[in-house]
């Protein structure tokens, strides 16, 4: 071996010199381009190829090792740049819920390659935030005593914006938030060498309250590491509010250097506006956020790291709730993962994973916040451009990513608070029902034979024209995507457990009326439940299903915060059944399965709450407009022993 090297040393010196000249030319031509990450990846592949060729030359003169000295290869340690063909079993580490039982696999593979970790927490900012005082600070709600005139303003603004915009105007644009991360996440280290100047944010607004939009922007700028943040592109989807025109332009010009406004010349809707915004950015990673969110401490590194490890990964933060009435930020109660039911409504399911700081697979992302590498965004064709306005895009890109070789995860250490409210596009949706058409497009393109279960829930869509789907079918063929049956078996095997293919019938439905005063009905039009006149337009219709949920669309009764009952995203957590309610038709009591308290209301405020159960209370007896007597009564008899209580 030594004689060979000595004899050919000049040859090797010339080859190595020429190679490094090639590296210099390569970097010189590439470093200024926006696709820097791709260039580095290609360079890495060339280096590895060159090194392998040299190794092969030397191996000819190297004696073969004895069998006892040979190390057994670990199939789990697949390098991040390994080619992934999801049709070949050799790459199964990369796909499927069953095939990723060890969530640490990918992180171990990279850290063993000497990729250094660091603490990204901004302790100076955290210390300053800890000292802040004022309305809404530390994520508290706005609870000032208001005059009658001010209350009129509050009501007027809430009718317009569907949340308390008056509170938003009186809370600092740079308010502090309570750190809602788990203790494990607060101490977690992330990759040190995350690509600098690589993250572009895209935020869409249409007639958003000025203060809410600016608080979103301030939060991104203040809580993003300066070395990672490249730009924020804010897309105005044809707003008409004057405060969002010249005043907004002037404010942004005075306070920011890396924020740009892009204005649509006509109403495009959220989906196409996100595509427009992404086309205006130059970063290697795209983060899409709604215009009414507040990012929390150290939210960005946990979003970016999974994409650095595997560019085909779409990452979503965990979403905390900003109460629309007061703008109080409430952290998640449970560890949850995104999912879907057969009507294509976003759902939440429990997370069964020991390490609460490691990203976990989700079958569907939430729509208000997501991060994706530009490379993967372009490879999978962005959002389907045939989707109109709002709705369905989160299912489309989730199914597409999984079935075409990628992955979708929630990052539990990244926290973003979101105001859940009536949509700014609601009038267009009511007029055109484009969200229904969007879901139809998703089902037809991606769900294969499983689309029949979708049509069972939405039979009216069978006669709706989905538009031209040719380009989407061609995209699926070009990407060599898997079947939806593969997706159900490998990625989403527990969906039928929570959402049976054939849905059991409802037990009760319609308005929920007070038995003692049948002119009063429950209203679920806002997050806070209340009692109104049954003739009022806000008197809501509900469904009482076999899961013991009192449901309205994708929201359910929830009794998770003291005695408050709110409309909350439906989820199924057996260990703390805060959304499960048993209705005793005979007494009219509706009992929460977690607190063992009964649905009640106060005559003074007409707000719904829970109180100790009392059969004689005039405010605790309820009935549904329609119900299946046998089903309701047998359910009560079957489950009442679980309440472990004596009704007075």
8 Å CB contact between 625 and 513: yes
Share of the chain above pLDDT 90, in %: 64
**Residues 274, 289: Cα–Cα separation, whole Å:** 10
DSSP state of 604: T
* CA-to-CA dists, residue 409 to 96, 317, 339, 364, angstroms: 11, 9, 11, 9
For helices 270-279 and 393-403, give the axis angle rounded to 10 degrees: 60
b/e per residue 277-304 (b: at least 16 CB within 10 A): bbeebebbbbbbbbbbbbbbbbbbbbbb
Closest CA to 129 of 190, 189, 218, 255: 218
Query: Which residues are CB-neighbours of 538 under 8 A, at least 6 positions away?
Result: 523, 525, 532
**Residues 216, 415: Cα–Cα separation, whole Å:** 14
Third-level CATH fold of 508-643: Trefoil (Acidic Fibroblast Growth Factor, subunit A) (2.80.10)
8 Å CB contact between 296 and 320: yes
* CA-based end-to-end distance of the chain: 92
Residue 39 confidence (pLDDT): 44
> Six-digit token pair at 52?
């392998």
Query: Which residues are CB-neighbours of 522 under 8 A, at least 6 positions away?
Result: 511, 512, 529, 530, 531, 532, 539, 540, 542, 608, 622
8 Å CB contact between 555 and 566: no
Residue 233 confidence (pLDDT): 99
Exposed, middle or buried, 392 (CB in 10 Å: 0-12/13-18/19+)?
buried
- Residue 320 pLDDT grade (very low, low, confident, very high; cuts 50, 70, 90): very high
> Six-digit token pair at 501?
């293919």
For 32, half-sphere exposure in the C-beta direction (CA atoms, 13 angstrom radius) is 3
In tens, the pLDDT along 600-630 reads 998 888 899 999 999 999 999 999 999 999 9
Question: Is 589's pLDDT higher than 70?
Answer: yes
Closest CA to 400 of 446, 345, 452: 446
Question: Three-state secondary structure along 527-558?
Answer: CECEEEECCCCCCCEEEECCCCCEEECCEEEE
- Residue 63 pLDDT grade (very low, low, confident, very high; cuts 50, 70, 90): very low
Supply φ then ψ for residue 449, to 5 degrees.
-70, -20
Looking up tokens 């005559």, which residue turns up? 603
- Residue 435 pLDDT grade (very low, low, confident, very high; cuts 50, 70, 90): confident
Strand 313-322 relative to strand 407-419: parallel, antiparallel, unpaired? parallel
Radius of gyration of the chain (CA): 28
> Six-digit token pair at 482?
């898997």
pTM: 0.74
> Six-digit token pair at 55?
């190794």
Query: Would you report the helix, strand and coil content of the chain in percent, each value rounded to 5?
Result: 35, 20, 40
In tens, the pLDDT along 238-249 reads 999 999 999 999
b/e per residue 477-497 (b: at least 16 CB within 10 A): eebebbebebbbebbbeebee
Residue 41 confidence (pLDDT): 46
CATH of 123-131+138-496, one of 3.90.550.10, 3.30.300.20, 3.40.1130.10, 3.40.50.920: 3.90.550.10
Question: Who has greater pLDDT, 107 or 264?
Answer: 264
Sequence spans of domains, the chain? 2-63, 123-131+138-496, 508-643
8 Å CB contact between 482 and 407: no
Distance of alpha carbon 600 from the chain centroid: 33
In tens, the pLDDT along 102-134 reads 333 344 344 444 489 999 999 999 999 999 999
- Residue 643 pLDDT grade (very low, low, confident, very high; cuts 50, 70, 90): confident
Supply φ then ψ for residue 310, to 5 degrees.
-155, 110
Q: Averaging pLDDT over each range in 6-20, 225-239, 355-369, 498-512, which range is the top one? A: 225-239
Task: Name the β-bridge partners of 622.
Answer: 514
Closest CA to 384 of 285, 469, 450: 469
> Six-digit token pair at 637?
């008899």
* CA-to-CA dists, residue 174 to 100, 214, 482, 552, angstroms: 40, 9, 45, 34
Supply φ then ψ for residue 194, to 5 degrees.
-65, 140
Supply φ then ψ for residue 5, to 5 degrees.
-65, -45
Task: Name the β-bridge partners of 203.
Answer: 234, 289
- Residue 503 pLDDT grade (very low, low, confident, very high; cuts 50, 70, 90): confident
DSSP state of 481: P
The 10 Å Cβ neighbour count of residue 406 is 25
**Residues 646, 648: Cα–Cα separation, whole Å:** 6
Supply φ then ψ for residue 130, to 5 degrees.
-65, -25
> Six-digit token pair at 390?
């709002």
- Residue 570 pLDDT grade (very low, low, confident, very high; cuts 50, 70, 90): confident
Question: Is 94's pLDDT higher than 60?
Answer: no
**Average pLDDT taken over every residue of the chain:** 83
8 Å CB contact between 319 and 144: no
């Amino acid at each position: 071996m030594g004689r060979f090297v000595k004899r050919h040393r000049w040859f090797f010196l010339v080859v190595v010199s020429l190679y490094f000249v090639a590296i210099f030319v390569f970097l010189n031509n590439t470093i200024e381009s926006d696709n820097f990450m791709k260039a580095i990846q290609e360079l890495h592949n060339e280096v590895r190829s060159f090194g392998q060729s040299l190794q092969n030359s030397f191996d000819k003169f190297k004696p073969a090792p004895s069998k006892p000295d040979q190390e057994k290869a670990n199939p789990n340690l697949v390098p991040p740049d390994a080619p992934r063909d999801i049709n070949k079993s050799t790459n199964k580490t990369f796909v499927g819920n069953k095939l990723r039982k060890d969530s640490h696999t990918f992180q171990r593979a990279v850290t063993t390659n000497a990729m250094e970790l660091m603490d990204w927490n901004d302790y100076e900012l955290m210390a300053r935030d800890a000292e802040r005082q004022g309305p809404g600070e530390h994520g508290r709600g706005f609870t000032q005593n208001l005059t009658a005139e001010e209350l009129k303003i509050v009501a007027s603004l809430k009718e317009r914006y569907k949340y308390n915009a008056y509170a938003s105007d009186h809370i600092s644009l740079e308010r502090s938030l309570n750190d809602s991360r788990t203790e494990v996440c607060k101490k977690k280290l992330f990759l040190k060498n995350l690509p600098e100047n690589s993250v572009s944010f895209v935020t869409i607004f249409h007639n958003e309250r000025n203060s809410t939009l600016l608080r979103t922007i301030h939060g991104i700028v203040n809580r993003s590491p300066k070395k990672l943040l490249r730009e924020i592109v804010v897309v105005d989807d044809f707003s008409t509010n004057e405060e969002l025109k010249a005043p907004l332009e002037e404010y942004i010009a005075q306070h920011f250097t890396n924020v740009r406004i892009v204005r649509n010349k006509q109403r495009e809707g959220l989906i196409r506006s996100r595509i427009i915004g992404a086309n205006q950015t130059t970063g290697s990673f795209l983060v899409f956020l709604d215009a009414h969110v507040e990012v929390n401490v150290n939210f960005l590194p946990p979003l970016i790291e999974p994409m650095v490890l595997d560019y085909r990964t779409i990452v979503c933060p965990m979403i905390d709730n900003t109460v629309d009435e007061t703008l109080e930020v409430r952290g998640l109660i449970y560890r949850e993962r995104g999912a879907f039911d057969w009507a294509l409504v976003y759902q939440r399911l429990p997370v069964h994973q020991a390490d609460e700081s490691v990203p976990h697979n989700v079958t569907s992302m939430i729509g208000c916040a997501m991060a994706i590498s530009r490379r993967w965004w372009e490879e999978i064709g962005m959002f389907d451009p045939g989707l109109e306005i709002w709705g369905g895009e989160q299912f489309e890109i989730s199914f597409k990513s999984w079935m075409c070789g990628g992955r979708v995860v929630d990052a539990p250490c990244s926290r973003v608070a979101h105001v859940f409210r009536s949509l700014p596009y609601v009038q267009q949706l009511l007029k055109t029902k484009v969200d229904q058409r969007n879901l139809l497009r998703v089902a037809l393109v991606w769900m294969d034979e499983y689309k029949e279960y979708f049509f069972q829930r939405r039979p009216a869509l069978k006669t709706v024209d989905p538009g031209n789907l040719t380009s989407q079918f061609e995209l699926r063929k070009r990407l060599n995507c898997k079947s939806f049956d593969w997706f159900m078996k490998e990625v989403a095997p527990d969906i039928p457990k929570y959402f049976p293919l054939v849905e059991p019938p409802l037990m009760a439905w319609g308005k929920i009326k007070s038995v003692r005063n049948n002119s009063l009905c429950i209203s679920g039009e806002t997050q806070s439940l209340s009692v109104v006149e049954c003739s009022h337009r806000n008197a809501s219709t509900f469904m009482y299903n076999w899961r013991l949920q009192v449901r309205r669309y994708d929201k359910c009764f929830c009794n998770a915060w003291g005695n408050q009952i709110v409309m909350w995203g439906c989820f199924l957590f057996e260990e703390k059944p805060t959304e499960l309610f048993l209705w005793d038709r005979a007494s009219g009591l509706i009992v929460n399965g977690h607190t063992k308290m009964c649905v009640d209301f106060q005559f003074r405020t007409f707000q719904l709450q829970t109180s100790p159960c009392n059969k004689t209370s005039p405010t605790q007896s309820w009935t549904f407009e329609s119900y299946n007597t046998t089903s309701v009564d047998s359910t009560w008899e079957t489950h009442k022993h679980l309440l472990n209580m004596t009704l007075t």
